[in-house]
């Protein structure tokens, strides 16, 4: 896998979910199997990224050959040469020193709106000031981003944050052949416009792009401009089909599922009544459906995850009895080796990593039949699909599994493990390598064609 490799996302949350898990796993596979090094780039204005990186290394999420680079943390330790300082267009109005020892200070309006953010180095010197009310003080409108040198003296300025982002990426790639895989839809809007001859850009769509009235509003800008990326990756054939239907084209859209690195293991002698859920506690995941269905079927259920519905679901668990909420745990996937079945009740999916990891460990999935992932994996033997939102059908499927003989359950577990073998790190990394090589070849050919056409225009003008 030649060239430099970057994984581009907005942030690495404290309690991250499937998208970030897939990004980290893919990056580890690139290092271990592809012989590449991978820099993970984040743009979130947080001051604790050194601690985040240390924690990720301690947990094994980051390995040698991987780095976590945050824009602001990188700027604290590295110069960003080039560009210009335009004080007339981009006023320099840093916040007054309040004596607090902090790396980030903010100015807010009466309603809590962030009007200015100033970033500092560890020695207290001003790094960067980002003002968002340059047209009228106190009212959002107009932007001034001023970068300072190690002495806190202004040296470079921008009127849009995306221009700073682009300058950073230019500095990191240093005109060397590079691939940038963009996982987060938050940063995908910017990456649409980051076009460089030496950079191949790839956007991975981790969830359904569809809403009730066509393409989701949060996805519309990207999907109306898919051709600005060199490759767009979706996780299933069904989603690629829908992209073609919705947009009338899917020429640059490729299918590369998520991979699993979970060992094919786990004792088949499990309590058939034991179930598990790994999901964020948000409305889209409909974890309450799983909890109620397990209680209706007389099963036990352990739920791992956190989110806005934690309090509400804790009360429901207390009412139901044999349902336990454990919160977020980085090692929760170990439960797949002990539980008999896993429940997936989301209203939409991409290619759920938890589903394939559970199958690799012999944990039988019972899932709502939603776009796009479960139906691509579950065939009726390795798991059970039920109509989306039908809690009674979900409970009936659990009861069916509980009633099966040990031999029947063992057959399901074997088949689930065989299914997972199609999505190992080795298999999926090879697919990534093929697509990245092909994208780079297309980009070079397109560059040659553009140069030839430009030369022909010059000759015609000269004649």
Give 166-216 pLDDT, tens digit per residue. 999 999 999 999 999 999 999 999 999 999 999 999 999 988 888 777 888
413 contact partners, CB below 8 Å, separation of at least 6: 266, 268, 362, 363, 364
β-strand pairing of 231-234 with 253-255: parallel
| Position 95 in a domain | no
Domain shared by 153 and 168, yes or no: no
Establish if 268 belongs to a structural domain.
no
Give one DSSP letter per residue of 206-257, joined into a string: -S--EETTEE-HHHHHHHTTGGGSSEEEESSHHHHHHHHHHHS--TTEEE--
Total-model pTM: 0.86
| pLDDT tens digits, 84-97 | 999 999 999 999 87
Query: Which pLDDT score, from 0 to 100, does residue 455 have?
Result: 43
143 and 173 co-located in one domain: no
Same domain assignment for residues 235 and 319: no
| Cβ atoms 336, 262 nearer than 8 A | yes
- Where among 255, 282, 304 does a domain terminate? 255
Please, what is the average pLDDT of the chain? 90
Q: In this predicted model, what pLDDT tens digit does every residue of 223-277 receive, in sequence order?
A: 888 889 999 999 998 889 888 888 888 778 999 999 987 655 556 778 999 999 9
Q: What is the CATH number of the domain that holds 290?
A: 3.40.50.2000
Same-domain pairing of 281 and 381: yes
Same domain, 154 and 49: no
Query: Are 51 and 144 members of one domain?
Result: no
Instruction: Mark whether 176 and 242 lie in a shared domain.
Output: yes
Q: Which of 211, 226, 255 represents a domain boundary (last residue)?
A: 255
**Nearest Cα residue to 12 out of 43, 57, 37, 58:** 43
Q: Where is the domain boundary, 140, 158, 176?
A: 158
Under 8 Å between Cβ of 305 and 327:
yes
Same domain, 327 and 414: yes
At 294 the pLDDT is 96
Residue 436 lies in a domain: no
**Which residues, 6 or more positions from 120, have their beta carbon under 8 angstroms from its beta carbon?**
102, 103, 104, 105, 126, 127
Backbone angles phi, psi at 106, to 5 degrees: -130, 155
pLDDT tens-digit series, residues 138-165: 999 999 999 999 999 999 999 999 999 9
Asked if the structure places residue 99 within a domain, the reply is: no
Domains in the chain, number: 3
pLDDT, average across residues 72-99: 92
pLDDT tops 80 at residue 98: no
Pair (147, 178) in one structural domain: no
Q: How far is CA 171 from CA 69, 81, 164, in A?
A: 13, 8, 11
Statement: residue 462 has pLDDT above 80:
no
- Could you list the beta-strand ranges (E) of 88-198: 104-108, 114-120, 126-131, 144-148, 154-158, 178-182
Q: In terms of domains, do 147 and 70 share one?
A: no
Residue 177 belongs to a domain: yes
pLDDT, residue 9, reads 97
Query: Mean pLDDT throughout 325-346?
Result: 92
In terms of Cα–Cα distance, which of 28, 64, 68, 76 is closest to 52?
68
Domain that holds residue 224: 4-77+163-255
Considering the domain architecture, whether residues 33 and 73 belong to the same structural domain is answered as yes
Same domain, residue pair 71 and 145: no
**Residue 302: strand pairing partners:** 276, 324
Give the pLDDT score at 463.
41
CB proximity list for 387: less than 8 A, separation 6 or greater: 368, 369, 393
Instruction: Determine, yes or no, domain membership for 462.
Output: no
Does 463 fall in a domain?
no
For the cut 90, the answer to whether the pLDDT of residue 448 exceeds it is: no
CA 425 to chain centre: 17
359 located within any domain: yes
């Amino acid at each position: 896998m030649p060239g430099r490799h970057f994984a581009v996302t907005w942030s690495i949350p404290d309690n991250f979910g499937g998208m970030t898990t897939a990004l980290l796993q893919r990056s580890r596979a690139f290092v271990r199997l592809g012989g590449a090094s991978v820099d993970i780039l984040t743009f979130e204005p947080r001051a604790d990224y050194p601690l985040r990186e240390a924690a990720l290394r301690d947990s094994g999420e980051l390995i040698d050959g991987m780095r976590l680079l945050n824009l602001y943390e990188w700027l604290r330790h590295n110069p960003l040469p080039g560009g210009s300082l335009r004080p007339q267009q981009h006023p320099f109005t840093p916040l007054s020193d309040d004596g607090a020892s902090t790396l980030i200070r903010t100015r807010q309006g009466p309603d809590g709106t962030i009007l200015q953010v100033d970033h500092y180095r560890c020695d207290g010197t001003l790094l960067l000031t980002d003002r968002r009310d340059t047209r009228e003080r106190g009212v959002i409108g107009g932007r001034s981003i001023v970068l300072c040198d190690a002495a806190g003296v202004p040296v470079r300025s921008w009127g849009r944050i995306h221009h700073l982002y682009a300058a950073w990426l230019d500095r990191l790639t240093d005109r060397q052949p590079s691939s940038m895989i963009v996982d987060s839809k938050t940063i995908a809007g910017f990456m649409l416009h980051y076009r460089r001859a030496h950079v191949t850009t790839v956007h991975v769509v981790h969830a359904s792009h569809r809403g009730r009235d066509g393409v989701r509003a949060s996805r519309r800008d990207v999907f109306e401009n898919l051709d600005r990326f060199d490759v767009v990756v979706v996780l299933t054939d069904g989603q690629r089909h829908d992209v073609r239907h919705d947009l009338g084209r899917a020429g640059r859209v490729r299918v590369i599922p998520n991979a699993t690195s979970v060992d094919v293991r786990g004792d088949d002698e499990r309590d058939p009544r034991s179930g598990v859920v790994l999901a964020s506690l948000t409305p889209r995941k409909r974890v309450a459906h799983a909890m109620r269905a397990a209680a209706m079927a007389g099963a036990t259920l352990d739920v791992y995850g956190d989110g806005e519905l934690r309090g509400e679901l804790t009360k429901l668990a207390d009412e139901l009895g044999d349902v336990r909420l454990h919160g977020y745990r980085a090692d929760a996937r170990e439960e797949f080796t002990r539980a008999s079945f896993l429940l997936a009740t989301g209203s939409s999916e991409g290619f759920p990593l938890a589903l394939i990891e559970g199958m690799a460990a012999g944990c039988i999935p019972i899932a709502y039949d939603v776009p796009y992932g479960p139906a691509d994996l579950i065939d009726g033997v390795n798991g059970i699909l039920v109509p989306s939102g039908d809690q009674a059908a979900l409970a009936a499927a659990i009861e069916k599994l509980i009633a099966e003989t040990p031999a029947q359950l063992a057959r399901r577990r074997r088949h689930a493990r065989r299914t997972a073998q199609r999505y190992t790190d080795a298999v999926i990394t090879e697919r990534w390598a093929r697509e990245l090589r092909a994208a780079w070849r297309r980009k070079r050919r397109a560059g040659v064609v553009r140069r030839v056409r430009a030369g022909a225009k010059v000759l015609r003008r000269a004649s």
